[in-house]
Structure 1
């Protein structure tokens, strides 16, 4: 298309403007309106790529075609074909209920891209047809000339063509301090985000005004790149989701296979095809745990709600279970392990060290006041002006301002800003900040603060004792390096403070290197960001649970290592890997580094390093929890099994990309969440045991009916089974999700990533032990009631026969017996090894309420006459009711003895401390 550009990529910061204008086919006067319209057709709207979104019909169909749902559909069709319309309708209702519930939960999708889109403004000021105009931001195209001023949010990636301003890049870099940008600043070193003449979509102008030519829009911007990366690193199914799918298919195949196999056997045994079909329906319905999926979902929802009360907002239900299998935590240091509240503890002056926290007014020398003033004037933070007010700015700068105020040189923001002539904000690569300020006598001075390793090379002199300055010798530098290492080893953060008086004819330009040389070192400031009080206990608990913890921080390695040692991470010789060392490692080398059991400090690390570390750990089969707070952390948070964002200090993008948000920014909350995840996982297994157990007493009556060729009448009806699965099952099963943690929960190692939630031991306990006991009790009660009425095998029990009422009472006893055995199973399932006394009979009130509700529901069906024809029940005599009362105690008592035997055997296998000492 004539008049449009073929260029769509980012510009080269060092490219001459003339060449850029030529490539973009534009000029400093911008585009015409007609040309902008044509380019809009070529490049599309200036919008972030959006995910296609959920198509609710397809999502709902997905739930309706779940394997368990499909097996129930087969049962409904069989019921319809055999003329049992009520039964068919009941099964269809079950299918729709389960599908609808699961569908509602699936709609809780992540919103990372939408959060990114919130950073884009709706309108922009451009030069169109040689005049300034307000246009919709979505209509910007490459070649447009933007007019940016203080308070504006940048709408697209652009190259500054004239003017100067300061830009808040925190949405892209995580840096809280504004960065200077101007047309004159051209540097080719570092990444594009550090280019001094480029601006980026989603950032904000905090000061100044400039014009810039748009070089990229929409998906081609840096913000669009992050959005696309977040989409490409979409979440995978959690271990629980994968296991439930496998179990669902297994149950479906077993149920369908059992029905298909036993129908011919029933016919061969003398059943009619209608009776065989009824048998198949009963077998399918008895094998399919209709309440499994909604109960798991509700249990996870309860876990999410409990965690939210404790400071962890979990955005995906299945993540609660994933938390319980966490094997590695990669954590930030500042604000997570520490309080993020800096305070000055020591100040080194050429005359000696000052313990600042115990510094008396008499010890406050003029040299100390000069250093405190120079450090305070080189800040942009603001202390609270009133006792109840709030301070704003970087915690390090706030600590410097507090120190200046404590030595009698308070510096108010108006006074500081009035004397300021230039500011070179903190540069993450240079790791220092400088300001040019007017002194009291009218002269100008440069004040610099920053990492000692970057400030010392700028210094040629050192402040003298009692005034003046001396040459900074090599011996001085060697001693300072040793002192700095000593401070860092104590967990202190060190800043070097330097100053230089400017000559009257010095030109203050944009080149900071011309000003940051020949400086005089005033001294060193050592600050402490104390560890959070509760972190040590949390780390100890995590280690006891077999979880490794790596620290990934942008801070000094020695400082991070000391803080790590204080809270119990790593040993005295903990390994420190710097950002440069990490970048130099190949993938096999990084895999080897992380494959050991040591905990590592990754110091001076970039957000991109987190993504690489997460990938390496996950490739080794680890379940990784990763913390982060910046926009660039979003891909790593997305990629980790559990992305943990900071609720207070984190950006919106990080919070949206994460799986869990800490409302208190506290590491201890992560360990609390892991413990909750383990408890939820155990509780899910408890109610799976509970649900699977009564499948045996539900299936055995149908097998007895089929194997006997109908000589033993059906002890249960299909509607009675549905009344159990959806009536008396749900509340006790859900109450098991509120079980307190079993003793020793955090004293065992994380379970293997591939370990199934349904293991052989669980099935043996459910089917071969608890289920078998329940089946014997249920069939015994059924046959006993029939025998007392004079029944013999083969006697008719249908409608109109003398034994029909007794048969209905017998089926009611069998049905009520299953419910009674459920109660015993519920108490047995509360612990896997410990006795019930260890956790307390009344420690789960919800279970007691659920059992009471199940009992009321059961008695209602037994003693409400109009329900008898629907469910095939009948009112029981007192002696028949007393028959089932011992069932719960028999089931629970048998399992209590089994668990006692397991504990005794475990004690015999574990050598006593005395034997271990002798062996040693």
Structure 2
């Protein structure tokens, strides 16, 4: 039999049973074992031992040494380690240390980027207040927010942040829940409201951790703390979501293994060939090392990093801060954008765009109407404080010549019946010279039912007949179909202050209708059109009303034929959602919960899309982390969203995303261009070794290992970097997004690099080698190592090979500037950095050839003067062959 004390301890530390916070208050207090006077301090301490601190779940602490070590074992890092070892074996110690420095720099940069991403969930804690007021032992006390427990009675006031999830037991407040729900307007929460909401987040009697009380006062009993709150649930989702590897990161990994396989394979193949050709094992190994070095592009990783960094700087100039280098390229491969509405597609500034009189006619408004707009508000236009809708009404009334200001309004106010989300209306009772007047504003369907008369722009009031009511309903539908938020405004005169709301809101005279809209940004429509021409679909995922969201979507060119609300999405099967997202149509998802956004992102992933998800609230954090690219709003977004996102838009503008897509496509194309440029130099570096081996030594080695290293890390570096700054080719935004599985290295690229430019460069380099060697008296089979007369000729010949490759690099660089277009379309001198890089390349080669100290190191000697006019045509020949190939491809594509 269990010990009684142990049983009590086990009961105390048992995981708490969930309660239904929407049940009647008396039953909820019973289930939570608490009272309206609050808990005792002793009971609160006991519950804290059971429930824990009121804190959000955190990521498991990463072991930073292991995380840092992973950066040093990346495939491309391993390849660079091999290059460093080979450089050490080749005797170039300085080069080996330089490559090690590149490895360390890239590893530290990647490690820092991962650490920055981990701040997303930790910043959720900033949405909890430090102190809060509770009632304990029947007295009001200030306690740390972390000390709240279920059963506490929490006191809420204007300007305070809610510290835990609770059920209102008295009072009424307005709550800014935009961070959780995406709703742009404050919502009313009151203890005595009828709860008929479909979602818990929409319940008029519940308040949630992380939201802000904008006005009013109330008391709430806490039913959930820490990870059991809505905010804690979102934090748990963010903890579980793992950052996805970007397409470029996957491609770089594949390239690294491809290059490693080619380098090691060629080197291993040369060993038996060298021995069969009569070389000793030591000589064969030495030249195998040379072949591997020739196939390892030591400058590839830093060149990619610098190209992405240039893209980051370009994005910053366009209004986007990129927190992860590879995100620039991810933008370029985006196939679907899931965008929020408020502030991203729109200006996030409500304004009145239409007003009609009491009979629904579009006429000039009368003074009673504008006066009612001012009186039936609590916002203050002077300070900008208050509901955005009311601020827009005040601005409209002022522009229409309203004869009352906010100070007079507040002084003459006798009573306020606050906006009720269930009744969908608000009423104020104001003193006037003739007595008291009730001013009502709210949803047209609620206000019209309580009107017995209507006031046109001209003339006296008319009876609210069936025909007048029908005309008004037609006007309301017309305005709503154009995406306007429609409010009806009415009044009634009294000789006393009505005590009941039903009295104040009956027998009304309709003054008019007002239509408001958060207008679309003017630059969004062209940006959406650019997305469509680029083959990118745009879905709207918002917490706002579906009718308004679909109207805004149509105005900016998003062809959303279907609107799916949060409830319908939750009921939708996975297969049905997949069919919807792969149907080719654009969709408006409205009233989207945090799990809904995350589910949409995961479904798009499953369908093979590269997803960019925008967001600005706490509820967006899991989806922002799950998407290939999380895009947060910098001006209006929360800190949590900014931390979770990969890109932060400083201007909250959808058009900036499209600019980023163009920038990303440019960066990706430029990465391919300098990979093409680097790959094109492998054949002229490898062919000399194969010729030496296959001839059995009858042909001396046309190129030395150190000369190869001078090419890979000396002459080709600056032109490769310059290709990373190339402007986008014409029509880059008229091309469809590339497939997720498409590699950076394609068969067409290898054909251009190895089969066209590489082979031509190799032939020209060998031609220069044999021309100098034969002119100096060499004949096949002669031993240049033992014949003193041939030794200087051989040095001139290897130098000629080296210089020929350098001259061919110039032609390769200009040919690599275009993937499809001709050089004439791009412009010969539009990339000034490339021109400077080619000049540096030639000067660097000249120093190696003519500087006596470097002649000794690299085994060079000035070639005959007659060779230079010949080599001057090499760049043109290499470029011309590739230009002819691209012309043939364009002609074939135009026919098909």
Q: If the length of structure 1 is used for normalisation, what is the TM-score?
A: 0.86
Residue 110 of structure 2: aligned partner: 105
Residue 545 of structure 1: aligned partner: 534
Q: Deviations over 1:191-211 (max 9, x none)?
A: 333444543322333445555
Residue 885 of structure 2: aligned partner: 898
- 1:229 maps onto 2:222 in alignment: no
- Preserved contact between residue 378 and residue 433 of structure 1 (Cα < 8 Å): no
Alignment partners' CA distance in 1, 2:853 and 2:196 = 86
CA-CA distance at 1:894 after TM superposition: 2.0
Q: 1:647 to 1:185 in 2, by over 3 A?
A: same
Residue 914 of structure 1: aligned partner: none
Match 1:369 to one of 348, 361, 367: 367
Q: 1:653 to 1:442 in 2, by over 3 A?
A: farther
- 1:397 maps onto 2:397 in alignment: no
Alignment partners' CA distance in 2, 1:431 and 1:730 = 70
- Preserved contact between residue 498 and residue 522 of structure 1 (Cα < 8 Å): yes
Residue 202 of structure 1: aligned partner: 210
- Preserved contact between residue 46 and residue 138 of structure 1 (Cα < 8 Å): yes
Alignment partners' CA distance in 2, 1:892 and 1:482 = 69
- Preserved contact between residue 336 and residue 665 of structure 1 (Cα < 8 Å): yes
Secondary structure of 1:86's partner? coil
RMSD: 3.6
Aligned length: 882
Match 2:622 to one of 635, 641, 659: 635
Q: Deviations over 1:669-695 (max 9, x none)?
A: 222222222222211111111111111
Where do residues 715-864 of structure 1 align in structure 2 (5 Å cutoff)?
A: 715-798=702-785, 801-864=788-851
CA-CA distance at 1:823 after TM superposition: 1.5
- 1:437 maps onto 2:445 in alignment: no
Alignment partners' CA distance in 1, 2:504 and 2:569 = 33
Q: 1:263 to 1:236 in 2, by over 3 A?
A: same
Q: Which is further off, 860-869 or 739-748? A: 860-869
- Preserved contact between residue 188 and residue 195 of structure 1 (Cα < 8 Å): yes
Match 2:294 to one of 268, 286, 293: 286
Alignment partners' CA distance in 1, 2:769 and 2:246 = 44
CA-CA distance at 1:584 after TM superposition: 5.4
Alignment partners' CA distance in 1, 2:738 and 2:283 = 46
- Preserved contact between residue 183 and residue 543 of structure 2 (Cα < 8 Å): no
Residue 5 of structure 2: aligned partner: none
CA-CA distance at 1:643 after TM superposition: 3.0
Q: Which is further off, 640-649 or 267-276? A: 640-649
Q: If the length of structure 2 is used for normalisation, what is the TM-score?
A: 0.88
- 1:121 maps onto 2:110 in alignment: no
Q: Deviations over 1:545-574 (max 9, x none)?
A: 222333445666665555544443339xx4
Alignment partners' CA distance in 2, 1:757 and 1:352 = 61
Alignment partners' CA distance in 2, 1:497 and 1:341 = 21
Alignment partners' CA distance in 2, 1:505 and 1:372 = 22
Residue 416 of structure 2: aligned partner: 422
Alignment partners' CA distance in 1, 2:49 and 2:860 = 72
Residue 483 of structure 1: aligned partner: 475
Alignment partners' CA distance in 1, 2:414 and 2:303 = 65
Q: 1:899 to 1:639 in 2, by over 3 A?
A: same
- 1:523 maps onto 2:516 in alignment: no
CA-CA distance at 1:486 after TM superposition: 2.2
Alignment partners' CA distance in 1, 2:653 and 2:554 = 18
Residue 382 of structure 1: aligned partner: 380
Q: 1:566 to 1:148 in 2, by over 3 A?
A: closer
Residue 407 of structure 1: aligned partner: 400
CA-CA distance at 1:831 after TM superposition: 0.9
Q: Deviations over 1:207-239 (max 9, x none)?
A: 455555544333222212111212323321122
Q: 1:234 to 1:207 in 2, by over 3 A?
A: same
Match 2:454 to one of 450, 463, 476: 463
Where do residues 655-674 of structure 1 align in structure 2 (5 Å cutoff)?
A: 655-674=642-661
Residue 267 of structure 1: aligned partner: 275
Alignment partners' CA distance in 2, 1:769 and 1:8 = 72
Where do residues 90-169 of structure 1 align in structure 2 (5 Å cutoff)?
A: 90-91=95-96, 93-108=98-113, 109-110=116-117, 111-125=119-133, 135-144=143-152, 146-160=154-168, 165-169=173-177
Where do residues 526-605 of structure 1 align in structure 2 (5 Å cutoff)?
A: 526-552=515-541, 561=550, 563-570=552-559, 574-577=561-564, 582=569, 585-602=572-589
Where do residues 596-615 of structure 1 align in structure 2 (5 Å cutoff)?
A: 596-602=583-589, 609-615=596-602
- Preserved contact between residue 134 and residue 141 of structure 2 (Cα < 8 Å): yes
Alignment partners' CA distance in 1, 2:865 and 2:225 = 80
Secondary structure of 1:617's partner? helix
Secondary structure of 1:749's partner? coil
Alignment partners' CA distance in 2, 1:38 and 1:162 = 26
CA-CA distance at 1:369 after TM superposition: 2.6
CA-CA distance at 1:580 after TM superposition: 5.8
Secondary structure of 1:654's partner? helix
- 1:646 maps onto 2:646 in alignment: no
**Structure 1, unpaired ranges of 5+:** 911-920
**Structure 2, unpaired ranges of 5+:** 1-7
Alignment partners' CA distance in 2, 1:777 and 1:303 = 36
